[in-house]
Chain A
Amino acid sequence: MKDNKESKSQVFHSYCLYPKVDFPSREDGEEVVLILRAHPITQIFWVLNGFILFITLLILNFFFPKLFNFYQIFFLNLFFLGIILSYCWFNFLNWFFNVGIITNKKIVDIDFYGVIYKEVTMAKLNKVEDITSKTGGYIQSLFNFGNVFVQTAGTEVNIEFINIPQPSKVVALINDLLGKKHYGADN
């Protein structure tokens, strides 16, 4: 099979092949093959929430003059607009940096919870025993996204990629990398 190592991204950067990125535990000669993020459709809730909050602020502006003076209204608008934008920005950051990384040597899962919690899970490719993809429901089938579970041998932790696009393609790619690893075709 011919390797096409051109960097390209699909589904709004949630499925990036050969991206130009780096991460701290990357070894010499290790190549990032795929970066995965949650499918953008799973982020629709905070986008809608932001929009609804913005509309609510606009509606509240009709009632503000009855209770507050001009400077107080100015402050309230500035503050709530800031809160809405911060809410959207924070959710975007959480989406962008919660990634699954597949390299030619290992699989890495980086998760950020809330504002300050970070979890990095790593598994060497030669420790991978089983890969399962799971897609269910109308939305997942319609937009082609789902979960991928990577089971590892021994004490190594299992890795889960949740709501990622094209899960079957990801399984095929990991299997391909495993094949190369086992039969030594990656040199």
Chain B
Amino acid sequence: MEQIINILNIKNIIHYSFKPLAILISFLYVIFALIVLKQTEVMNKTLNSSANIFFNFISLLQLIFAVIVLLVAIFLI
């Protein structure tokens, strides 16, 4: 009985569900970052200016950041 109450404890629920949830949302974030990078390329083709390299660079940075978040979720938590 005590074990069941312990499992239902809020801290335990967070402890056991945090990692899979973190990996899932980080993975979705990586997909979002990929779509934004692709969309930035499409936007750059639609309107070609000298700032295009900068926009691509920032979108690429976002993707790298998303991958780092995913790696943190997999290996550090």
Residues of A bordering B, CB below 8 Å? 19-24, 67-68, 71-72, 74-75, 78-79, 82-83, 85-86, 89-90, 93, 96-97, 99, 101, 110, 112, 115-116, 118, 120
Contacts and interface: CB of A to CB of B under 8 A. Distances in A.
A75 B69 CA distance: 7
Contacts of A22: 47-49
A156 B32 CA distance: 36
Contacts of A67: 10-11, 14
A90 B69 CA distance: 18
B36 A78 contact: no
A98 B11 CA distance: 46
A79 B18 contact: no
Given A71-B76, A75-B76, A83 B29 contact: yes
* Size bracket of the B interface: 20 to 34
29 contacts: A21-B49, A22-B48, A23-B46, A23-B47, A24-B45, A67-B14, A68-B18, A72-B18, A72-B22, A72-B77, A75-B22, A75-B69, A75-B76, A78-B69, A79-B22, A86-B33, A89-B59, A93-B39, A93-B43, A93-B59, A97-B43, A97-B46, A97-B47, A101-B47, A110-B47, A112-B39, A112-B43, A118-B46, A120-B46
Contacts, number: 86
Contact of B65 (A20, A82, A115): A82
Given A67-B11, A79-B69, A82-B66, 20 more contacts: A22-B47, A24-B46, A72-B14, A72-B18, A74-B76, A75-B22, A75-B69, A75-B72, A75-B73, A75-B77, A78-B68, A79-B73, A89-B62, A93-B36, A93-B40, A97-B47, A110-B46, A115-B36, A115-B39, A120-B46
